């Protein structure tokens, strides 16, 4: 007969399941889907892929078509180097996409996979400042095309990529190469990073200009309200209506 005490791994029901959720010990939910938002087994995976109902991150599946992969991908996997022309192709893609995504709202991070595995090749992760912006972007992008192909966007369970990156992908070298199931990320040159920073500067300029216009309109309406208040009861009703308009517009 059980003594009723909890010992060792017997932490108890929900608490224990919560402690192992998204880890390799979790036999119910897919570890890789939880870590990178993608799994090589896809819909045939024997573990659950828990789709998020809200997230600040969206995943654009196979969006970047790397011209190298249409050629000698194996040699690239061995040498780990891109030619200047190949790097320029990637950076032009990055600048074009980040510029377009900023139309939806502030982008905190955009990562492009350098993995060759089918479920990860060309994947683009975009983390927005707010989850409502991410949802709007996802919904609208699913009705758009890029480079002659329909865009497949979905909310991604990953918001913190700390445990998504391959720890061996660097000076040590990943034994799995580009077929690793953890993220190998393409990097920008210093020149491209400066150009991307200019894109963000232009975004902030437009944002500040919009905020200034809103403040200016509110100030004009407020001035008009004060004048109307001097005319008595009718002015009070006008003031109330003006304030409602201001709030709705803001």
Residue with tokens 């955009």: 110
- Range list of β-strands (E), 99-214: 107-112, 124-128, 145-146, 149-150, 153-155
Instruction: Count the neighbouring beta carbons within 10 Å of the beta carbon of residue 212.
Output: 10
Question: What is the SS3 assignment for 59?
Answer: strand
Question: What is the SS3 assignment for 72?
Answer: coil
DSSP state of 131: H
Of 170, 173, 187, 177, residue with least CA distance to 77: 177
Instruction: Count the neighbouring beta carbons within 10 Å of the beta carbon of residue 61.
Output: 16
Pair 94, 112: CB distance under 8 Å = yes
Q: pTM, whole model, 2 decimals?
A: 0.76
Pair 112, 90: CB distance under 8 Å = yes
| Distance, CA of 244 to CA of 237 (rounded, Å) | 11
Q: How far is CA 106 from CA 36, 56, 126, 190, in A?
A: 22, 11, 10, 22
Q: What is the distance, to the nearest Å, from the Cα of residue 19 to the centroid of all Cα atoms in its chain?
A: 26
Residues 106-124 pLDDT 10s: 999 999 999 999 999 999 9
Give me the tens of pLDDT residue by residue for the chain, a chain 250 residues long. Answer: 444 444 445 555 666 555 555 555 666 789 889 999 999 998 899 888 989 999 999 999 999 999 887 655 555 555 567 899 999 999 999 999 999 999 999 999 999 999 999 999 999 999 999 999 999 999 999 999 999 999 999 999 999 999 899 988 776 788 888 889 999 999 999 999 999 999 999 999 998 888 777 777 776 666 655 555 555 444 433 333 444 333 344 3
């Amino acid at each position: 007969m059980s003594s009723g005490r909890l010992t060792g791994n017997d932490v108890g029901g929900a608490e224990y399941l919560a402690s192992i959720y998204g880890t390799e010990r979790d036999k119910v939910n897919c570890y890789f889907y939880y870590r990178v938002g993608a799994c090589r087994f896809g819909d045939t995976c024997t573990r659950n892929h828990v789709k998020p109902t809200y997230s600040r991150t969206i995943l654009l599946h196979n969006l970047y078509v790397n011209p190298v992969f249409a050629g000698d991908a194996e040699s690239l996997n061995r040498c780990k180097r891109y030619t200047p022309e190949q790097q320029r192709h990637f950076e032009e893609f990055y600048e074009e996409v980040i510029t377009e995504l900023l139309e939806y709202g502030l982008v905190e991070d955009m990562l492009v996979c350098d993995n060759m595995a089918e479920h990860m090749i060309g994947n683009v992760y975009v983390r927005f400042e707010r989850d409502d912006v991410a949802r709007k972007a996802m919904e609208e992008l699913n009705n758009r095309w890029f480079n002659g192909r329909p865009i497949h966007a979905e909310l991604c369970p990953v918001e913190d990529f700390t445990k998504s990156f391959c720890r061996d992908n660097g000076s040590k070298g990943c034994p799995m190469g580009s077929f690793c199931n953890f993220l190998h990320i393409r990097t920008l040159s210093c020149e491209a990073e400066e150009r991307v920073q200019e894109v963000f500067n232009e975004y902030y300029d437009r944002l500040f200009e919009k905020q200034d216009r809103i403040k200016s309109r509110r100030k004009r309406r407020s001035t008009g309200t004060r004048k109307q208040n001097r005319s008595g009861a009718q002015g009070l009703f006008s003031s109330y209506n003006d304030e409602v308009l201001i709030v709705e517009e803001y």
